[in-house]
């Protein structure tokens, strides 16, 4: 029987009524959308367990870490250098930002016409629903988009917040700014954790996080086989869990999935029959528990085989150079790594199209769904370039703008089914 964590949640100051409602909604949804998928890899059991204990055991681990003097650092974006947090014996956790449940709570303070990811995380804090948020000693924000950077001002009044300034351009001046921001971030994290960054602890942290990126990449690249040995939903789930699980344990478990997938590929086994239409998704990140597009696709006769998004390729595309010797060289390697993320917050961001082309071709996808969260100006505007790219390369594409509600599922399904039909004919 599962442990009762009510006392821990009370001590964290959670609003138990809201929290219970969230958990009561998520449990059945997860069972219906994930556990019932046919022919799942056995190694997914670990990830089912992680979800079943998402607000229990993992939170207990974080609190035990704090009890021993460690720090917990909440994040929302790939730009926060987790290697630094890990090196300083902190735990970086990607905070929940993908649930519709907390959106109306945020709308009491924030405009309705704001990206749901922002409203979701702010609602989690306002409603005191998320034990990760309440465990975080500090939340690290970034100036990647106007909505987020303004909401961090509100958030800073009710939770400790540290904001990193991400440059708008990738030229020498932008790189210099990011180098300074990295130094400032290191100083702030040293103060919060009480530890000093050294060559040894940073080298070990870079290796640890690189191993995590490599393990996820293995899983994701094995999906490029036909039949796909794992569903897009499960691959997305692994990606989402990577943002808050213990780094070394996660890496081991993701590698176990990859080992099993290799055997499946060798045996020609898949979760869908060979020849199932294959789609790639590109656009804004899908923060946990946002599984909507993947579920729509995989209940419409197709498989998602790649994600050009932060909950996908953008996270594991590159690893940080492990050959750097001095602390200074290691910092430069970190700057290089983060400045190579092709996020729509940059102008221009042409290299994102190269990523899309690479991933489309490598994954054997037959069509692209460009999925943007509502009111996300950077990605909505870039949608035009992606559509142009698709037209020029004869790639079937549908562009959708969606939020976390269930209201548009029927409409999404109709559009996805039309794409599936197009790529099947
Ligand atoms: S899309 Fe850009 S702003 Fe959003 S998480 Fe990714 S890197 Fe950060
Ligand atoms: S999805 Fe777009 S609007 Fe929302 S937080 Fe990310 S960059 Fe900002």
Supply φ then ψ for residue 272, to 5 degrees: -120, 155
Same domain, 149 and 111: yes
Give me the residue label for tokens 């989402």. 240
Q: Which two tokens stand for residue 190?
A: 């040293």
In a domain, 209, yes or no: yes
Same domain, 156 and 262: no
- The whole domain housing 375 covers 202-320+327-334+342-424
Residue 1's pLDDT is what?
A: 57
Cα 3 to averaged position of ligand 1 atoms, centre (Å): 35
In angstroms, rounded to a whole number, what is the distance separating the alpha carbons of residues 198 and 319? Answer: 20
Mutation test of ligand 2: which of 96, 103, 378 has the most ligand atoms closer than 8 Å to its C-beta?
A: 378
In angstroms, rounded to a whole number, what is the distance separating the alpha carbons of residues 248 and 234? Answer: 20
The residue among 198, 219, 240 that closes a domain is 198
Supply φ then ψ for residue 307, to 5 degrees: -130, 115
CATH number of the domain encompassing residue 416: 3.40.50.11900
In angstroms, rounded to a whole number, what is the distance separating the alpha carbons of residues 130 and 13? Answer: 10
**Closest by CA position to 297, among listed 33, 50, 120, 106:** 33
**Closest by CA position to 281, among listed 270, 299, 301, 295:** 295
The residue among 153, 180, 198 that closes a domain is 198
Per-block mean pLDDT, blocks of 10 residues, the chain (425 long): 90 96 92 92 97 96 98 98 98 96 97 98 97 98 98 98 98 98 98 98 98 98 98 98 98 98 98 97 97 98 98 98 97 98 98 98 98 98 98 98 97 98 95
Residue 2's pLDDT is what?
A: 74
Same domain, 81 and 171: yes
**Closest by CA position to 91, among listed 64, 70, 118, 112:** 70
Please name every residue paired with 401 in a beta bridge, in sequence order, or none if there are none.
372
The residue among 171, 198, 225 that closes a domain is 198
Give the residue whose CA is nearest to atom 2 of ligand 2: 376
Indicate the pairing of strand 71-75 with strand 90-94.
parallel
Same domain, 66 and 211: no
In angstroms, rounded to a whole number, what is the distance separating the alpha carbons of residues 277 and 157? Answer: 48
Given a contact cutoff of 8 angstroms between Cβ atoms, the answer to whether 215 and 207 are in contact is: no
Same domain, 60 and 87: yes
**Closest by CA position to 398, among listed 365, 371, 377:** 371
Same domain, 212 and 166: no
**CA distances for 367 relative to 257, 330, 418, angstroms:** 26, 39, 11
**Is the previous residue joined to 348 through a cis bond, with omega within 30 degrees of 0?**
yes
- The ligand whose atoms approach the alpha carbon of 121 most closely is 2
Given a contact cutoff of 8 angstroms between Cβ atoms, the answer to whether 76 and 148 are in contact is: yes
Write down how long the chain is: 425
CATH number of the domain encompassing residue 174: 3.40.50.11890
**CA distances for 22 relative to 99, 109, 135, 162, 200, angstroms:** 9, 20, 18, 28, 42
In a domain, 265, yes or no: yes
Please name every residue paired with 104 in a beta bridge, in sequence order, or none if there are none.
none
**Closest by CA position to 311, among listed 246, 235, 255, 397:** 235
Mutation test of ligand 1: which of 82, 98, 144 has the most ligand atoms closer than 8 Å to its C-beta?
A: 144
Q: Is any atom of ligand 2 closer than 6 Å to the C-beta of 143?
A: no
Same domain, 179 and 280: no
CB atoms closer than 10 angstroms to residue 339: 16
**Closest by CA position to 371, among listed 350, 339, 344, 340:** 344
In a domain, 1, yes or no: no
**Closest by CA position to 363, among listed 290, 281, 292, 294:** 281
Residue 425's pLDDT is what?
A: 85
Same domain, 232 and 192: no
Mutation test of ligand 2: which of 106, 118, 122, 380 has the most ligand atoms closer than 8 Å to its C-beta?
A: 118
Helix (H, G, I), strand (E, B) or coil at 279: strand
Q: Which two tokens stand for residue 238?
A: 């692994």
In angstroms, rounded to a whole number, what is the distance separating the alpha carbons of residues 239 and 219? Answer: 10
Same domain, 358 and 220: yes
Given a contact cutoff of 8 angstroms between Cβ atoms, the answer to whether 142 and 163 are in contact is: yes
Q: How many domains does the chain have?
A: 2
């Amino acid at each position: 029987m599962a442990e009762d964590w009510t006392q821990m949640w009370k001590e964290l100051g959670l609003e138990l009524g809201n929290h219970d409602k969230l958990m009561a909604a998520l449990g059945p949804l997860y069972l219906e959308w994930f556990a019932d998928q046919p022919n799942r890899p056995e190694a997914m059991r670990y990830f089912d367990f992680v979800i079943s204990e998402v607000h229990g055991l993992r939170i207990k681990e974080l609190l035990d870490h704090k009890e021993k003097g460690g720090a917990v650092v909440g994040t929302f974006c790939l730009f926060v250098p987790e290697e630094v947090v890990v090196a300083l014996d902190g735990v970086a956790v990607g905070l929940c930002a993908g649930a519709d449940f907390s959106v109306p709570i945020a709308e009491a303070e924030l405009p309705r016409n704001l990206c749901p990811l922002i409203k979701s995380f702010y609602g989690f804090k306002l409603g005191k629903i998320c034990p990760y948020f309440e465990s975080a000693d500090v939340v690290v924000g970034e100036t990647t988009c106007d909505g987020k950077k303004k909401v961090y001002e509100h958030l800073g009044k009710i939770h400790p917040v540290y904001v990193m300034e991400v440059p708008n351009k990738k030229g020498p001046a932008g790189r210099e700014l990011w180098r300074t921001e990295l130094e400032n971030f290191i100083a702030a994290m040293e103060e919060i954790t009480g530890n000093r960054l050294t060559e040894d602890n940073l080298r070990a942290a870079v290796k640890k996080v690189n191993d995590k990126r490599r393990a996820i990449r293995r899983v994701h690249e094995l999906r490029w086989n036909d039949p796909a040995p794992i569903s897009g939903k499960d691959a997305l789930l692994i990606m989402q869990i990577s943002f808050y699980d213990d780094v070394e344990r996660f890496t081991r478990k993701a590698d176990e999935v990859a080992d099993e997938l290799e055997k499946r590929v060798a045996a020609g086994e898949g979760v869908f029959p060979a020849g199932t239409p294959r789609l790639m998704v590109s656009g804004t990140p899908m923060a946990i528990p946002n599984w909507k597009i993947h579920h729509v696709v995989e209940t419409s006769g197709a498989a998602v085989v790649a994600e050009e998004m932060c909950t996908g390729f953008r996270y594991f595309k590159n690893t940080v150079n492990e050959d750097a010797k001095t602390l200074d060289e290691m910092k430069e390697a970190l700057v290089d790594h983060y400045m190579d993320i092709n996020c729509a917050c940059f102008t221009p961001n042409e290299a994102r199209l190269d990523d899309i082309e690479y991933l489309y071709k490598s994954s054997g996808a037959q069509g692209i769904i460009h999925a943007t969260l509502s009111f996300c100006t950077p990605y909505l505007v870039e949608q035009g370039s992606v559509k142009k790219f698709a037209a020029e390369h004869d790639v079937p594409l549908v562009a959708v703008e969606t939020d976390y509600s269930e209201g548009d599922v029927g409409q999404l399904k109709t559009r996805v089914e039309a794409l599936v039909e197009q790529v099947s004919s």
